[in-house]
Structure 1
Amino acid sequence: MREFTTPLSISIPTTGNLTDDVVANARDAGDTAVFSRNTGAGWVDVTATEFHDEVRAVAKGLVAAGVEVGDRVALLSKTRYEWTLFDYAIWFAGAVTVPIYETSSAEQVGWILQDSGARAIVAEGPDHLARVREARESGDLTELQHVWSITDNAVDVLQRLGSDISDEVLEQRRTAATPLDLATLIYTSGTTGKPKGCMLTHGNFMFELGVAVDELGDLFETDDASTLLFLPLAHVFARIIQVGCVKSRAKMGHSADIKNLVADLGEFKPTFILAVPRVFEKVFNTASQRATADGRGAIFDRAADTAIAWSRARDAKKVPVRLRAQHAVFDKLVYGKLRQALGGHCTYAVSGGAPLGDRLGHFYRGIGLTVLEGYGLTETTAALSANLPDATKIGTVGRPLPGTGVRVGDDGELLFRGGQVFAGYWGNEEATREALDADGWFHTGDVGEVDDEGFVRITGRKKEILVTAGGKNVAPAVLEDRLRAHALVDQCLVVGDGQPFIGALVTIDRETFPGWAEQHGKTGGVADLVDDPDLVAAVQAAVDEANKAVSKAESIRKFTILPDEWTEEGGQLTPSMKLKRNVVVREARTEIEALYLG
């Protein structure tokens, strides 16, 4: 059994809670701009003192409304400044935040409110309020006493409501929580079964951010450090960056609408960003398609190959003179424009949620954006391991963070232990016992490897390993990740459990398809062209490229292009863009069976 532990490098506080950062910022750096808000007319800075005062005023309103220490308060909203404001106000009031994805259905909202026993909910706008109302009408939400709406001036309403609450009462509430107390209940995205509430304490966050901010000083602690959050704050990945920015005083902005993201990045000019791999894939594929449409496809392809080769040569510590010269030329012609699309100041990105892939990692580093890939789960307060600016191995998810240990079980499952591992599942002791063993090791459900230097590589999901009729074990994630890297492929599902060979279902990217169709003289939509020889050939090329990563017995032998797409709204994807494999397998049973007929 292979095991690797990174020693703890700093002291973690044993007292206090997450609100201490807000108080310290106002006291020690009150005039520092810690946020910037998009008002529609431009970006307006919010100082540490202003944020502290707003948080306190809203928290007093929560206290006046009857929110008690330990009560759960739900947040149902897009990523915006008020999300962060309410999160810290809830903690100031001594309560527990329960984030809900703003895309959640009424049924999902109802389950989380009921299971958590939430006493209040802050919803963003009319659509969210309608879902809360529907959940109330169809469910048993007797604990829910208050519903506030951000667009109906919830901030002002609560600030006025709390005007009679004294500073002394609020300070008692703010300091009530210790590192052992619950800070948030984050519900898993539910790829299987009903979502479970992960109990994360103030201490979990304090451990995670204590070591992460220290290790990622190049991101958080430079003089001009800033980031623009556009991932859902209901996801632990975005949440941890939020808390890290508050702790380190890195300026943070929010972008709620992905359609405005390029414009927002251009105006905000972050020095680092975070995203899931699908975002990095989309950026690359869109740039490639646009270059092809403009007649510059060959130049872009050469530029991409040069960036990848340059990055690989850097790992070997020997960049040939000719490659260095080619890289310099493409930096002016291509790479600079890609960096400009991120605002022009971005040098680092953090990626998590799924494997990024070796090729994309080298491509982005080659254009001047180092993507630091990490690994973690909701149950582990985000990162367990991460590549660092001075310790990166592309294709891995880095070494365990300081104070964290990793162990590879006899069946290949990755187990982790550290101060960021959760306290358990809310009201579900059986599930907690399955995930946490008696020695505190968390069973991730992921299969992986640890090399001699401690770098962790994820190779698949334990429950998703396919076993063919010939007895070959196949990890579908390797093939799926490589297939999705193709510009035309949106999502894919690799199948073959108990079958004579491996097959795949493929959906087509609706953004890149029109450009491809125009270039190939095609008319009609995806549904009209699923059997078109040119489209089939393009996907076959993607399959051939993916198959290079595996043995012949593991390779995809047949595939089917589906006329429809898999979406979060359709129930096939989680809010973090993970495929709900059991849902897709059930819905596409006929198509899967057809792969193996005859």
Structure 2
Amino acid sequence: MQELDVPRLTEPPVAGGLADSVFTAVRRTPDRVQFSLSAPGGQWEPVTARRFAGEVLAVAGGLLSQGVGFGDRVAVMSRTRYEWTLAAYALWSIGAVVVPVYPTSSTEQVRDILRDTGAIGCFVENENHAMTVAAAHGPHNPLTRLWQMDQGALDELRTEGAAVDPAYVHRLRSAVQPGHTALICYTSGTTGRPKGCVLTHANLIAECDTLSLGWGGLLAAPGEEASLVAFLPLAHCYGLVVVVSSVRVGVNVAFQPDPSPQALLPTLAAFRPTFLYAVPYIFERLFRAARLKARQSGRSALFERAVRSAVHYAAAEQRGKAGQGSGPGPRLRLRHALYDRLVYARVRAVLGGRVRNAVSGGSPLARELGLFLAGCGITVYDGYGLTETAAAVTAQPVGAVRHGTVGRPLPGNAVRIADDDEILVRGDVVFAGYYNDPAATEAALRDGWFSTGDLGRLDPDGYLVITGRKKDIIITSGGKSISPLLLEEELRGHPLISGCLVVGDNRPYVAALITLDEESVAGWLALKGRDPQEPAALVTDEELLGHVRRAVSRANSRVSRAESIRTFRVLPHEFGSREGLLTPSLKIRRSAVIERYAREIDELYGTRPSRRAL
């Protein structure tokens, strides 16, 4: 059994809650720009600390006038936007509990959350969300208030709040204690029914302040104002911690409700943030977009040489910092400087040109992609965490990134590897339990340790390596236990492949469902001088299948024969969140994909050999 415990950087709070930082900022830096709102003409409307505190106070008063009280649960169903943040801080200011709801949630999912939490009210973004909540309302649901953001509900609350004595709000805020519940945040449900995680003010304060104290220097270059674009779902703990941390330390935040690359990349180029929080999907898309643009401009060979040089350069730097080498040699440094002007600067420009450090979370970032970005001058600090740990519980140490790992335990936390390789964690960020589910809480929390369900190991220097998830382990009919993570990551790294799900549970061998990257395939066809094709035709295109088959063979070279993919099926469409196949943090819902494509999986194991078999 392995175990590593890291001392705290700061002591746990003894009083107060999350909303206190809003009013502390007013006293210290009232004119500091806290948020930047998109305005007509490509401009940005500043929201100062003074304005934000005033609006929080007014909305909090409006909530009190409408009967929301200390300890009440209130849901928020919206995309990532300023109004989400305003509503959350207003609720925390009066001691209420925020219940985040994903904006893509179904009526059934919303009904379960509202019934489970007993939420008395719900903020929604638009009419579609309002209709979903209305359809979810039932006789056992205490919901009596609905505020629709795009219909001016927050303005109405501000107006009503003007009649409420601000001192009353401040008295309620002063009554909030660190151990009080701040969030009931539901898991994304990759392996089963979502559960409500009870996160206290102390959990979130520990997460935010530890990251700020230990990693705050990465947010901007000396002399620059730290800024970022918030686009991750605020209903996901990771996305919410990004914004809460920014409020606590004074980072200027812009919002992009649409996280698709088509919407996000122009926002990054226009706002020019100094730091980036993202998930691996975003970095993968950035890389694919750069590769596709190079191909379209006839610079494909140059780009691929630059990729190899960046990976070798960053790997040599990593070995040098670990005392395992002298770092990049003269020839490699010369090539790197040349490619920096020709390629790497263009990659940085896609993010606005000022990002030099970034964080990746939600799932492990592929080692080669992390090395490439580092070689481009963007160091990605990969971390690991869950909703139950208030986002990150491990992170890469500053200046000592080890790509291929998710870093070391955050200060104030410990990681233990059980005898069956399950990752157990303990510390300040670990949640209080599952709401209204004592049996699940007892199963997950034992002797202060939280059983994550993930598998991993600690390397000799205490860096955590994720090797899989217990519930994802495939056991073939021959009794072979296989973790699909390595194969799936390897295949997703291919330029034409966007997704992969390895299957084989209770089957005689391992197989895979593979999806194609639509933009990359379109570019590939154009370079070949071929006409665009419908997705149904692409899955039987022999030339394209040849590329996929070779990619599978390369992935198989990383594992044993018993673990290798024997056959595969290319699907006509990518896995999508609208179909319920991806979580809001863009991770594959394995059970949903397996259920959706049950017939295709059965065909992979039919008596007739697959024409795509290796």
Same fold (TM over 0.5): yes
Describe the superposition over 1:48-80 as per-residue Cα deviations: whole angstroms up to 9, x where unpaired. Answer: 111111110111001111001010111111111
Of 503, 513, 523, the residue aligned with 1:515 is 523
Alpha-carbon distance in structure 2 between the residues aligned to 1:461 and 1:220? 32
1:296 to 289, 296, 299: 299
| Among candidates 495, 517, 526, match of residue 487 of structure 1 | 495
> Does the CA-based 8 Å contact 2:226-2:273 persist in structure 1?
yes
Separation in structure 1 between the aligned mates of residue 227 and residue 558 of structure 2, nearest angstrom:
37
Give the corresponding residue for 1:147.
Answer: 146
In structure 2, the residue matched to 1:425 is 434
| 2-structure distance, mates of 1:159, 1:523 | 53
How far residue 523 of structure 1 moved from its aligned partner, in angstroms, is 4.1
- Write out aligned runs for 1:179-578 (5 A): 179-220=178-219, 223-257=224-258, 258=260, 259-317=262-320, 318-437=327-446, 439-520=447-528, 521-578=530-587
Cα deviation code 1:451-494 (max 9, x no counterpart): 12111000000111112234332110111112112222122110
Residues 64-73 or 467-476, more deviating: 467-476
Gap runs ≥5 in structure 1: none
Tell me what 1:92 maps to: 93
Measure the CA separation in 1 of the matches of 2:363 and 2:558.
17
Q: Which residue of 1 aligns with 2:18?
A: 18
Q: Over aligned residue pairs, what C-alpha RMSD do you find? A: 1.4
Matches of 1:548 and 1:270, distance apart in 2: 40
Distance in structure 1 (CA, Å) of the matches to 2:312 and 2:456: 26
Q: SS where residue 316 of structure 2 aligns?
A: helix
Task: Give the TM-score normalised by structure 1.
Answer: 0.97
1:544 offset after TM fit, Å?
2.5
Q: Deviations over 1:10-59 (max 9, x none)?
A: 22221111111111101111111111111233111111111111110111
Q: Is this contact kept in 2: 1:33–1:48, CA < 8 A?
A: yes
Distance 1:417 1:200 in 2: 14
CA contact (8 A) 1:70 1:95 kept: yes
User: Residue 170 of structure 1 corresponds to which residue in structure 2?
Assistant: 169
SS in 1 for 2:434: coil
Which shifted more, 463-472 or 342-351? 463-472
1:118 is aligned to 2:127? no
Q: 1:523 to 1:246 in 2, by over 3 A?
A: closer
Alignment-mate amino acid for residue 394 of structure 2? S
What is the DSSP-based 3-state SS (H/G/I as helix, E as strand, rest coil) of the residue aligned with 1:447?
strand
Q: Distance in 2 between matches of 1:97 and 1:263?
A: 31
Q: Which moved more, 1:499-508 or 1:343-352?
A: 499-508
**Does the CA contact (< 8 Å) of 1:12 and 1:210 recur in 2?**
no
Q: Is the 8 A contact 1:219 1:225 kept in 2?
A: no
39-48 or 50-59, which deviates more: 39-48
CA contact (8 A) 1:293 1:515 kept: yes
Task: Answer whether contact 2:191 2:471 (CA < 8 A) is retained.
Answer: no
* 3-state SS in 1 of match to 2:314: helix
Using the TM superposition, give the Cα deviation of residue 127 of structure 1 relative to its aligned residue in structure 2, in angstroms: 1.6
Deviations 1:351-400 (A, max 9, x none): 01111111001000000100100000001100000013223111100000
Are the counterparts in 2 of residues 96 and 183 from structure 1 also a CA contact under 8 Å?
yes
Q: Do the aligned partners of residues 187 and 172 (structure 1) sit closer, same or farther apart at CA in structure 2, a change above 3 Å counting?
A: same
Give, as a single letter, the amino acid of the residue that structure 2 aligns with 1:34.
Q
**Aligned-partner Cα distance in 2 for 1:189–1:548:** 33
Q: Is the contact made by 2:522 and 2:532 (CA closer than 8 Å) also made in structure 1?
A: no
- Aligned counterparts of 2:129 and 2:391: Cα–Cα separation in 1: 27
1:420-454 per-residue CA deviation (whole Å, 9 max, x = no partner) reads 100011100011111111x1100000000011211
Contact 2:417 2:458 (8 Å CA) reproduced? yes
CA contact (8 A) 1:480 1:493 kept: yes
The one-character-per-residue Cα deviations of 1:115-139 (angstroms, maximum 9, x if unpaired) are 1111111111122112122222xx3
Equivalent in the alignment of 1:127:
128
Pick closer, same or farther for the CA change 1:93–1:377 going to 2, 3 Å.
same
3-state SS, counterpart of residue 335 of structure 1: helix
In the other structure, the counterpart of 2:5 is 5
- Following superposition, the deviation at residue 568 of structure 1 comes to 1.1
> What CA distance in whole angstroms lies between the structure 2 residues aligned with 1:93 and 1:391?
42
SS of the equivalent of 2:392 reads strand
Q: Confirm or deny: 8 A CA contact 2:230 2:253 kept in the other structure.
A: yes
Amino acid at match of 2:200: T
Where does residue 611 of structure 2 map in the other structure?
none
Q: What is the Cα deviation at residue 220 of structure 1?
A: 4.2
Where 2:468 maps in the other structure, the secondary structure is: strand
Return the alpha-carbon distance in structure 1 between the equivalents of residues 510 and 387 of structure 2.
31
Q: Which amino acid counterpart does residue 32 of structure 1 have in structure 2? A: R
1:508 and 1:565 in contact (8 A); partners too? yes
- Residue 169 of structure 1 aligns to a residue whose secondary structure is helix
Note the C-alpha offset of 1:533.
1.1
Query: Secondary structure of the equivalent of 2:519?
Result: coil
Partner residue in 1 for 2:610: none
Partner of 2:33: 33
Structure 1: distance between partners of 2:575 and 2:349: 31
| Separation in 1, partners of 2:280, 2:581 | 18
Q: Which amino acid aligns with 2:476?
A: T
Deviation at 1:277, TM superposition (A): 0.5
- Residue segments in structure 2 that go unaligned for 5+ positions in a row: 321-326, 608-614
Matched-pair identity in %? 44
Determine the C-alpha separation between the residues in 1 that align with 2:576 and 2:355. Answer: 30
Indicate if the aligned counterparts of 1:505 and 1:561 stay in contact, CA closer than 8 A. yes
Which residue is equivalent to 1:584? 593
- Match of 2:95, SS? coil
1:219 CA displacement? 2.8
**Aligned partner of residue 433 in structure 2, secondary structure:** coil
Q: What amino acid maps onto 1:556 in structure 2?
A: I
Deviates more, 1:274-283 or 1:521-530: 521-530
Q: Distance in 2 between matches of 1:103 and 1:133?
A: 15
Which amino acid is the alignment partner of residue 469 of structure 1? Answer: S
SS in 1 for 2:416: strand
Residue identity matched to 2:47: V
Q: Which amino acid aligns with 1:290?
A: K
* Stretch moving more, 409-418 or 461-470: 461-470
1:424, 1:90 → 2: CA distance? 21
AA of the residue aligned to 1:194 = R
